[in-house]
């Protein structure tokens, strides 16, 4: 299998209501139902995006603390522990009003086998231009 892009889910109010029950078994049930309605896999990564924020718009002194606070975090949505810590993960990320949290599928997933490979292909594009590869083709 080849992964070109990972699927994302922006939970919004529906995810928030699934995480509300105080009893862990009720929260796990509500979260499982939410996952089923939206096709969310068991293993995801919690990530945060910022509206109109890029490395060029940040003060360099803010970069490292921001990267540490909003580091992607793996969570197993089918486990009691994952269900317990997910609300706190999301609350810790809610300190910036420009932050938008989302879940991204954790791929490659855990499967039977001994190896997995991940390739990163860097593609560049000038504003309004076409995507192109700037590597050396040996010519």
Mean pLDDT, rounded, of the chain: 80
**Domain membership flag for residue 40:** yes
Range of the domain at 66: 8-105
Highest mean pLDDT among 35-44, 68-77, 91-100, 117-126: 35-44
pLDDT the model gives residue 105: 93
Q: Judge whether residue 96 has pLDDT over 80.
A: no
Per-residue b or e along 92-124, where b marks 16 or more CB atoms closer than 10 Å to that residue's CB:
ebeeeeebebbbebbbeeeeeeeeeeeeeeeee
Mean pLDDT (whole number) for 116-121: 69
pLDDT score for 14: 93
Residue 77 has pLDDT above 70, yes or no: yes
**Domain assignment of residue 28, yes or no:** yes
Would you state the pLDDT for residue 11?
87
Length of the chain measured in residues: 139
The encoded tokens of residue 60 equal 């360099």
Which of 123, 110, 111, 107 has the alpha carbon at shortest distance from 6? Answer: 107
Determine the 3-state secondary structure of 76 from DSSP. Answer: strand
User: Do residues 44 and 106 make contact, with C-beta atoms less than 8 angstroms apart?
Assistant: yes
What is the pTM assigned to this prediction?
A: 0.67
- Total tally of structural domains belonging to the chain: 1
Q: Is residue 71 part of a domain?
A: yes
Residue 85 lies in a domain: yes
The top-scoring range by mean pLDDT among 72-81, 94-103, 126-135 is 72-81
In a domain, 132, yes or no: no
For residue 115, is it within any domain?
A: no
Tell me: pLDDT of 74 over 80.
Answer: yes
Region 52-72 average pLDDT: 66
Q: What average pLDDT does this structure show over 74-101?
A: 85
């Amino acid at each position: 299998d080849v992964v070109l892009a990972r699927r994302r889910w922006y939970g919004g109010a529906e995810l928030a209501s699934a995480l509300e029950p105080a009893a862990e078994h009720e929260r796990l049930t509500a979260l499982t139902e939410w996952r089923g309605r939206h096709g969310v896999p068991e293993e995801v990564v919690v990530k945060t995006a910022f509206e109109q924020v890029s490395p060029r718009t940040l003060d360099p002194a803010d970069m490292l603390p921001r990267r540490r606070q909003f580091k992607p975090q793996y969570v197993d949505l089918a486990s009691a522990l994952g269900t317990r810590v997910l609300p706190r993960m999301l609350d810790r990320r809610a300190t910036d009003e420009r932050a938008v949290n989302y879940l991204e599928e954790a791929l490659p997933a855990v499967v039977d086998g001994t190896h997995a490979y991940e390739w990163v292909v860097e593609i560049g594009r000038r504003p309004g231009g076409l995507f192109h590869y700037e590597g050396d083709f040996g010519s």
